[in-house]
A = this chain, B = another copy of it.
């Protein structure tokens, strides 16, 4: 689309007014599902694994030790789902929510890293991957 625009404005006899008209017809590429797909996928995977981890934690022998993990899993699942929703809607607020999402994922990933169950390991990996995707999506170098 940009190529078509550049080709047109290089034509002889183009004047100021036509240039501006062409420029505003050049639809700015809007971000959405396809552009943010890897971040959406990371959020949705993280949300599902957090739900799985929370339920699995309640079934451990020492549930008390997992209390903080359950709490963070629940918060992380909630924010990840809504971040994915806003990104797939191409919302201009998607980056704001991904900034918060990165912080929750980071905390949840760190808590999960303290435990040695299989579900906590999986969850730590998913949370860290999601935090990284969210930071990349919001333009923060990781």
A residues lining the B interface (CB < 8 Å): 32-34, 40, 44, 47-49, 51-52, 54-56, 58-59, 63-64, 66-68, 70-71, 74-75, 77-79, 81-82, 84-86, 88-91, 93, 96-97, 100, 103-104
Contact = CB atoms under 8 A, between A and B. Distances in A.
B32 A54 contact: no
29 contacts: A32-B56, A33-B48, A33-B49, A33-B52, A34-B52, A44-B44, A44-B84, A48-B84, A48-B85, A48-B88, A49-B88, A51-B74, A51-B85, A52-B88, A52-B89, A54-B89, A58-B70, A63-B67, A64-B64, A70-B70, A74-B74, A78-B89, A79-B97, A81-B81, A82-B82, A93-B103, A96-B100, A96-B103, A100-B100
A17 to B, nearest CB: 24
B44 A88 contact: no
Given A51-B85, A58-B70, A81-B85, 16 more contacts: A44-B84, A51-B74, A52-B90, A54-B74, A58-B68, A58-B71, A74-B74, A74-B89, A78-B86, A78-B89, A79-B82, A79-B86, A81-B81, A81-B82, A93-B103, A97-B97
Contacts of A66: 63
Contact of A86 (B56, B63, B75): B75
B104 A93 contact: yes
